[in-house]
A and B are shown apart, each in its own frame.
Chain A
Amino acid sequence: MKVEMPVEPLKPADFASDQEVRWCPGCGDYAILAQVKKTLPGLGIPKEKIVFISGIGCSSRFPYYMNTYGFHSIHGRAMAVASGLKIARPDLNVWVVTGDGDGLSIGGNHLLHAIRRNIDMTVLLFNNRIYGLTKGQYSPTSEVGKRTKTSPRGSVDFPLHPLSVAIGAEASFVARALDVDLKHLGYVLERAAKHKGTSFVEIYQNCNIFNDGAYSYATDKGTKHDTRLILEHGKPLIFGKDREKGIRLNCTDPEIVTLGDGISEDDLLFHDEKAAEPSLAYLLTRMHHPNFPEAFGVFRAVERPCYEYVLDEMSDSTPPPQGAEDAEIDALLNSGDTWVVD
């Protein structure tokens, strides 16, 4: 990426816009906003080169709170707007902020296609498993049986899992973080921002108004060690308060094992985020509470050509100097079979 280094290092506060932040008090979005502002200075990209693009939903207010270029577009279409912007201007650093409704329901199609094209941008999907802005209807990630205003007897919709979808769409970077685990969130954001290609990050985000406690299993002190597994590249999959449990592959299925009693770390599944084939990363996205601990961190980070850079190479994108375009246009107009009438 062609970026100039800023003269003075930026601070998180430099990224705050003059707009009052209007999420509900206690909303998980605040923590994510703060962490993004903390991450940006470290990237060394001038803020005028950064663009935040969103769709519609609580999370999509995000660009208004960033003192960068921003575009609060329409419902579900952030990925498409961002794709056009990034293709036209490969020099920009582009972030998409979306939610489970915006990104996976109305905007599902665009999400798949931007990911498969591997357009170099960082996509943050705030997953709160509910429609917040419209005041509490079930979303594509809500669990079956969820009672909401549009599913008074329990939702009959089978949910989908954002990271499984992203891998199915050939994502080159897939990660998951938790709104309240600031340090780990910061690590994931930085990794995502530095990855070249579409970086897809699912952030578990608590909507304390309409779906409070959706992730309490992963945040409560008492349970979090058994329900979360932090991924580290090249390391075995270990979790538990005393790191006493691990994930082993039994045929093609993961299984929880306790270390000791003849089972050593070497018997466990080792995490390889750079694996060429995404099968094991996909398997990790299928581990769900309560049967398994849920994985956090970078599931997959592989190199693959980015649509907009390849296209840019193919096209002669620098306009000729002022006045010199005449010859170029005349050549275009006179292309094909011509004849002269005198």
Chain B
Amino acid sequence: MATSTAPTSKRTMVERKEHATVTIRFCGDSGDGMQLAGTQFTNSSSIFGNDVATLPDFPAEIRAPAGSLPGVSGFQINFSSHEIHTPGDRVDTMVAMNPAALKTNYKDVVPGGIILVNEDAFSKTNLQKAGLDVSPLEDATLRDYHVYKLPMGKLTTEAASGFGLSNKGVNRCKNFFALGVICWLYERPLAPIESWINSKMGRTPAVADANTATLRAGWNYCDTIELFPHAYRVAKAKIAPGTYRKITGNEATAIGLATAARRAGKELFIGSYPITPATTILETLAAMPQMGVKTFQAEDEIAAMCSTVGAAFAGACAVTSTSGPGLALKGEAMGLAVMTELPMVIVNVQRGGPSTGLPTKTEQSDYLQAMWGRNGECPMPVLAACTPSDCFEMAVEAMRIAVQYMTPVILLTDGYLANGSEPWKIPKSSSLPRFDVVHPTNSNGEAFLPYKRNERGARPWAIPGTKGLEHRIGGLEKQAETGNVNYDPDNHQRMICERADKVAKVADSIPDLKIDGNPDAELLVVGWGSTYGAITTAVERANKRGQKVAHVHLRYLNPMPKNTEDVMKRFKKVIVPEMNMGQLIIKLRSDFLIDAKGINKVQGKPFLVSDIEAAIESALGEG
């Protein structure tokens, strides 16, 4: 393991100011390696011992014209000496690698904050590409900030030359120069980054050496030339003992699914079609054949869903992953899964819609689609993860519910959770639930009844290959118990009710809704999914200020925990922040007849803590 101390500064005089929490943003052109710089800074900070939360912000186009505004890519990280839940509202220190990045990002920096720019990129052409007539480095645009202009291009060239790389290869190293500077400024250890460089680039030593040299050059540059009047320190956070790793939501989902299948004693089948921002789930699982994972990259979303249904019939733990437009395509086959009552998990990593919408941006606008976006009466359990690492737990839960209740289950995450990361205390396998999957092996001489239900309402999962249990299933309405095709009116009503009852019974197996904040408050904030961090932080701050606010976060959206109505009715006022135009609130108002008020943001960006604080303020202010 890498050591977790920063290199010792030669500058004896350097003064380090303590900060509890700092937010940094790396931004530049999508070719500037900002995601990599951000990820490495995150790793270093995690290993150093801070709590961290990140927010990558990708451009929608893979290669928008270099230097253009749509080509700007950003990575924000919040790191702290105490527990944090969000990537931070405002930026304390920003690195901008070109004029376009500076223009689109500087307003998020707190007044008095630091802006580091690569001044070599502020050529006339680049300014033009960003639609700037005058360089913001030369007018009053940045007067509220501490601006440091570094010739990063030139300094990188000096540091990375001599390793035999082409000019282009040398120039590519400059993200590591920026990273070195920021590491010096915040006393981050370089060792984890260097060991990462060696493990990823070790096969081409010239590249590895050039990047390492550039990283150190950035660090040494600060140490030598007294660029900054002082540096900063963010102490280690008090973190529960244990083994940790950094995890993104999509990694957690993938690992959770593979784990769940093994806890069910089965192999995992994933039939998926690449779609942003869900693709990395498929990619992560594709790298796990040693765990018995079979990945099938289908020809389209429909085939992905149908192959999942087929694999479930065959007896595998079956999964498909997608995002909103893909879920729309899967709708009909999800209905088939409901009709045939087969267990499977459908992961929907939500993104901005409608249609192709904002593929790389986050939103929570598929709640209604997940609940009711299929023909006929077609209920299925719907779960929603609330943090990147919670994706692991909810993926395991989704699979548990699927196999125990013989039903497809939707797991909702979103782009913010999918790409965002946090340290994750790794659980022990033995602490995870084991599922009781029982396939019937014979019908004891009687006619086999594929739709005879158990106490959970689940039908038997008889799988092909079992002698004597040969049966036929399909999308036509089933006769109760026998599963034969049946058009009888009373039978249809009975079966619709049985399917709905079964889903409702899932509530018997899920935990009660827990109230955070002040349980005696007048105001309750109800959230679901990725708004957890912003709501938690805002409610904590409000209560610290002496306001009285409670918070509940729904991870089980269908069915909801049994005490949900009780909880909702205990509070005089209920507000529901959602990254949509008000979807869950429709259900809350209609089921519980409460006068909940929606707080809605649809900008492709998560809520800021301040957004929620303002909403709390105004809700408390209204008589």
Q: Is the CB of A89 within 8 A of B245?
A: no
How many Å lie between the Cα of A66 and that of B90 in the bound state? 66
Cα(A19)–Cα(B243), bound, Å? 59
Q: Are A85 and B300 in contact (CB under 8 A)?
A: no
> Which chain A positions have C-beta within 8 A of B469?
48
Say whether A88 contacts B292, CB under 8 Å: no
Q: Which of B71-79, B221-229, B473-481 contacts A (4 or more CB under 8 A)?
A: B473-481
Within 8 A of A (CB), among B524-577: none
Q: Which residues of A contact B245 (CB under 8 A)?
A: 334, 336-339
CB distance from B516 to the nearest CB of A (A): 24
Stretch of A136-144, A154-162, A192-200, A318-326 at the chain-chain interface: A318-326
CA distance A66 to B470 in the complex (A): 9
Residue A131, interface by CB 8 Å = no
> Are A72 and B473 neighbours in the complex by a CB distance under 8 Å?
yes
* Residues 286-320 of chain B, each 1 if its beta carbon lies under 8 Å from chain A, else 0: 00111111101011101101111111111110100
Q: Is A329 an interface residue (CB 8 A)?
A: yes
Is A89 within 8 A of B465, CB to CB?
yes
Check A333 against B255 for contact (C-beta < 8 Å): yes
Q: B597-616 toward A: CB 8 Å interface, digit per residue (1/0)? A: 00000000000000000000
Residue A230 interfacial (CB < 8 Å): no
A64: min CB distance to chain B, Å: 5
Interface size on A, residues (CB 8 A): 64
A315 close to chain B: CB less than 8 A? yes
Contact yes or no, A109 B299, CB < 8 A: yes
A69 to chain B, nearest CB (A): 4
Residue contact A339 to B465, C-beta cutoff 8 Å:
no
Mask: chain A, 23-65; 1 = CB below 8 Å from B; 0 = not: 0000000000000000000000011110101001000000110
Q: Which of B42-50, B203-211, B349-357 contacts A (4 or more CB under 8 A)?
A: B42-50
Tell me whether B10 is interfacial, beta carbon within 8 Å: no
- B-contacting residues, A199-213, CB 8 Å: none
Q: Among the interface residues B299, B318, B473, which one has the most CB atoms of the partner chain A within 10 A?
A: B299
Whether, in the assembled complex, A239 has its beta carbon less than 8 Å from a beta carbon of chain B, the answer is no
Q: A80 within 8 Å of B by Cβ?
A: yes
Q: Mark B228-242, 1 if CB is under 8 A from A, else 0.
A: 000000000001111
Binary contact readout A1-38 vs B (1 if CB under 8 angstroms, 0 otherwise): 00000000000000001010000000000000000000
Contacts of B265 in A (CB 8 A): 319, 322, 325
Given contacts A69-B470, A71-B472, contact A314 B289 (CB under 8 A): yes
A167 beta carbon closer than 8 Å to chain B: no
Contact present for B239 and A341 (CB under 8 Å): yes
Contacts of A46 in B (CB 8 A): 467
CA distance A106 to B292 in the complex (A): 33
A110 and B258: CB pair below 8 A? no
Tell me, yes or no, whether B464 is within 8 Å of chain A by CB.
yes
Q: Which residues of B contact A333 (CB under 8 A)?
A: 255, 259, 426-427, 429
Q: Decide yes or no: A337 and B192 within 8 Å by CB, A64-B485, A84-B308 being known contacts.
A: yes
Verify A91–B303 contact, CB threshold 8 A. Answer: no
Q: Which of B239, B426, B429, B463: most chain A Cβ within 10 A?
A: B429
Complex: chain B residue closest to A62, CB-CB:
B472
Nearest Cβ in chain B — how far from A305, in angstroms?
16
Is B218 on the interface with A (CB-CB < 8 A)?
A: no
Q: Are A88's CB and B314's CB within 8 A?
A: yes
Q: Is B332 in contact with chain A by the CB < 8 A criterion?
A: yes
Q: Interface extent on B, as a size class?
A: 35 or more
Q: Once the chains bind, are B262 and A328 in contact (CB under 8 Å)?
A: yes
B475 touches A74 (CB 8 A): yes
Interface residues of B in 266-291 (CB under 8 A from A): 266-267, 269, 271, 288-291
Tell yes or no: A118 within 8 A of B by CB: no
Contacts of A68 in B (CB 8 A): 470
Q: How many A-B contacts are there with CB distance less than 8 Å?
A: 222
Inter-chain contacts of A236 with B (CB < 8 A): none
> Contact between A70 and B255 (Cβ–Cβ < 8 Å)?
no
Establish whether residues A339 and B47, one from each chain, have CB atoms under 8 Å apart when the complex forms: yes
Minimal beta-carbon separation of A249 from chain B (angstroms): 35
Could you tell me the distance between the alpha carbons of A51 and B100 in the complex, rounded to whole angstroms?
A: 59
Contact status B474-A73, CB under 8 Å: yes
Least Cβ distance of A342 to chain B in Å? Answer: 5
Q: Establish whether residues A73 and B306, one from each chain, have CB atoms under 8 Å apart when the complex forms.
A: yes
Please measure, in the bound complex, the distance between the C-alpha atom of A64 and the C-alpha atom of B483, giving whole angstroms.
11
Question: Is residue A87 within 8 Å, beta carbon to beta carbon, of the partner chain?
Answer: yes
Query: Is A316 an interface residue, CB under 8 A from the partner?
Result: yes
A69–B472 contact, CB under 8 A?
yes
Given contacts A68-B470, A334-B243, contact A80 B302 (CB under 8 A): yes
A83 touches B296 (CB 8 A): yes
Determine whether A81 belongs to the interface, using a CB cutoff of 8 Å to chain B: yes
Of residues B296, B307, B484, which shows the largest number of chain A Cβ atoms within 10 Å of its Cβ?
A: B307
Nearest neighbor of B256 in chain A, beta-carbon distance: A333
Q: By CB atoms of chain B within 10 A, which of A63, A320, A330 has the most?
A: A330
| B470 and A84 form a contact (CB under 8 A) | no
Contacts of A312 in B (CB 8 A): 294
Q: B246 touching A325 by the CB < 8 A rule?
A: no
Contact of B300 among A66, A109, A338, A340 (CB under 8 A): A109
Q: Which residue in B246, B313, B333, B470 is a CB contact (below 8 Å) of A337?
A: B246
**Chain B CB within 8 A of A286 CB:** no
Q: Do B310 and A82 touch across chains, with their CB atoms under 8 A apart?
A: yes
- Contact call B465/A77, Cβ cutoff below 8 A: no
Instruction: Give the CA-CA distance A266 to B61 in the complex, in Å.
Output: 61
B444 on the interface (CB 8 Å rule)? no
A329: chain B residues at CB < 8 Å are 259, 262-263, 429, 432
* Residues of B in contact with A (beta carbons under 8 Å apart): 1, 4, 43, 46-47, 49, 192, 196, 239-246, 255, 258-259, 262-263, 265-267, 269, 271, 288-294, 296, 298-300, 302-303, 305-316, 318, 332-333, 335-336, 340, 426-430, 432, 463-476, 484-485
Q: List 28 A-B contacts (CB under 8 A).
A: A63-B472, A64-B472, A69-B464, A69-B470, A69-B471, A71-B473, A74-B335, A80-B298, A80-B299, A81-B309, A81-B310, A82-B310, A84-B309, A86-B310, A88-B269, A88-B318, A89-B314, A89-B465, A110-B306, A316-B292, A328-B262, A329-B432, A333-B255, A333-B426, A334-B243, A337-B246, A339-B243, A340-B243
**Interface on A for B, CB 8 Å cutoff?**
17, 19, 46-49, 51, 53, 56, 63-64, 66-74, 77, 79-89, 91-92, 109-110, 112-113, 311-312, 314-320, 322, 325-330, 332-334, 336-342
